[in-house]
Amino acid sequence: MRHPFYLVYCLALLGATTLAEYRGWSLTSVNEMKDVPKSVRDNPGAYRAHYMFYPRHIGGK
């Protein structure tokens, strides 16, 4: 190929797609919290995620 740039670009895309699929990446994201207290299992109501206070959409036409 005269210009191998596109070939390299294609290989990079294929590699990135394989890695994304293999590692289970997603376009959506979730919050990752570290050191969640073990007491959550005994007292689930004590756990609060930061997004829980966002306004809720109430649907309907």
Partner 1 sequence: MSTAPPPQVKSLSCPNCGAPVVIRGFATTLSVVCGNCHSILDAKDPNLAVLQQFQAAERIQPLIPLGTRGKIRGDPYEAIGFQVRTITADGVDYSWAEYLLFNPYKGFRYLTEYHGHWNDVTMLRTLPEVGTSGSRPVAKALGQTYRHFQTADARTTFVLGEFPWQVRVGETVRVMDFVAPPRMLSSETTGSETTWSLGEYIDGRQVWQMFQLPGSPPRPVGVYENQPSPFGANLKEVWMVCLFFLAALLALLLFFNVFASKDRVFSGSYFFSPRAGQEASFVTDVFELKGRTSNVEFSTRTDLNNNWAYFNYALINTDTNQAFDFGREVSYYFGSDSDGSWTEGGQNDTAMVPSVPSGHYYLRVEPEMDANAAGVTYSISLRRDVPTWSYFLIAALLLLVPPIFLTFRSTGFEQARWRESDYPPAVSSGSSGDDD
C-alpha triplet 21, 11, 3: angle, nearest 5°: 160
Cα separation, 52 vs 34, whole angstroms: 17
Classify residue 17 as left (phi > 0), alpha (psi -120 to 50) or beta: alpha
Contact flag: residue 55 with partner 1 (CB under 8 A) = no
Least distance between partner 1 and beta carbon 56 (Å) = 5
Least distance between partner 1 and beta carbon 5 (Å) = 9
Residues that bind partner 1 in the complex, under the rule CB under 8 A: 1-3, 6-7, 9-10, 13-14, 16-18, 20-38, 40-41, 44-45, 47, 49, 51-52, 54, 56-61
